[in-house]
Structure 1
Amino acid sequence: MADWCYREGGMSVRGESAAAALVRPLDTLVVESERVGVAEDPVATWDLRPADRVTLARFGVPRVRRVDPQVQQGREPELVHDQRSFYSLGRFSRLEIGLVPGLGEVRGIPSDEWSEECFTNSSVVYFVETAWRWYRVWKDVEQLQGDIELYDVLDDFLAFAAQLDPQVGTDDSSAWRGRIKVW
């Protein structure tokens, strides 16, 4: 396990399980019954980097607290915000998950007047991996409600997300950072 997963004095079973979810190979984290698949057609025609299209088709997006995948089926970007178009993957809390054509950057697009557009991940590859790891960590977070170790697990998850995609840790408007810090 990564050094940042260890705590002085040890961790609970839940803490250890969450830490393990941050280092296991991604394909071992996917749960078919919770996976919202993304058909290669039309995704194969989306203006994204090949790695982003392949990752999205291979792993899909998990159904998990704060992530509600509803992948658009059209070939052209369907989500419009501030005169810009995005491919839509569903919702992340009160935000729509929008993919920037050509770049593959994942943005949180406001769906109400209280939210602002924000950075989520710098690529679809990073978003899919972070979402699946959140899926696994969340299972342990649910059981730690009211326990001080909850905050260690959340900090570890955020540290992982920032290590995977450094902009998650440095962008003040990062959706992952914002959603985790509200605890």
Structure 2
Amino acid sequence: MRSEHGDKWAAVEDELRFMLSEPLEPLVTTEDRPLFIEVAQEWDIPQGDRFALGEWGLPQLPLFTPRPQAGPDPVLVPNVAGEHERRLVKDGQQLYDLGFWGPSEDSFVVGVVPGDGRVLCLLPAPITVDDIPEVLRPYHAGLHKPAVSFLSSSVAQYVETAWRWSAAIQILRKVEGPAYTASEADHVRHYDRLYACVELVVDAARRLDHAAAAEDPQSVWIELIRENSI
């Protein structure tokens, strides 16, 4: 017989599975949504990408601030610091600006490649083990986050993944965690179910874009979803 808490998680899982498979339109909210309608039509990206950006826009996500770029010309200049970055973008190539992840504009920026519409993550410079506190370095040997990383194969896929993740977060928040005084076993069960639900969102992101795979070191979507859904 299921516990009341187990029943709640079963309902959450059912709601997540339905949401991740239903059409996108019911998931799009209009409150505080930046409008990309005009600027999207000015960008040199595939028609499907222009439609998705103009029709749906982008949600506010944990630590993500969407911002419509002013003007029709690409404005972002990636730091092509090495071979990894050159596999994704050419020296001197400029990108369109979709917004930024993190607490400020100094955090990493989301850029769109003119022509093919790929979505990339831009850092001011690569991050290596030397950039983290010395006490943490033994736990992150070989750390290297390039200045340019892969996010989505197209703007349309980025838009859909963002909205489905946004809806998933609202669903996950319906189940409260165990009381502070609950047993360790109750806490373990809660987080096991929570992480399993997050993996449903990860699987949906993989289905939407096969290039966004957990084992792909160039993809940051899976990392973002896993680290910012709880």
TM-score (norm 2): 0.68
For structure 2, list consecutive stretches of 5 or more residues without a partner in the other structure: 1-6, 80-91, 128-144, 178-189
Instruction: Please identify which structure carries the higher strand content.
Output: 1
CA distance in 2, matches of 1:79, 1:43: 16
Partner of 2:209: 165
> Is this contact kept in 2: 1:15–1:140, CA < 8 A?
no
Larger-Rg structure = 2
1:96-153 deviation per Cα after TM superposition (whole angstroms, max 9, x unaligned): 1100000100001114663532111000010000000011011133445752211111
CA distance in 2, matches of 1:175, 1:20: 25
C-alpha displacement of 1:173: 2.4
CA distance in 2, matches of 1:175, 1:110: 12
Partner of 1:95: 108
Partner of 1:61: 58
C-alpha displacement of 1:181: 3.9
Cα separation, partners in 2 of 1:112 and 1:65, compared to 1, 3 Å: farther
Partner of 1:127: 158
Partner of 1:140: 171
**RMSD over equivalenced CA pairs, Å:** 2.2
C-alpha displacement of 1:39: 2.6
Partner of 2:73: 76
Instruction: Give the AA of the match of 2:202.
Output: L
> Is this contact kept in 2: 1:19–1:153, CA < 8 A?
no
Instruction: Give the AA of the match of 1:164.
Output: L
Partner of 2:16: 18
For structure 1, list consecutive stretches of 5 or more residues without a partner in the other structure: 1-8
TM-score (norm 1): 0.84
CA distance in 2, matches of 1:171, 1:101: 23
CA distance in 2, matches of 1:35, 1:168: 25
Partner of 2:225: 180
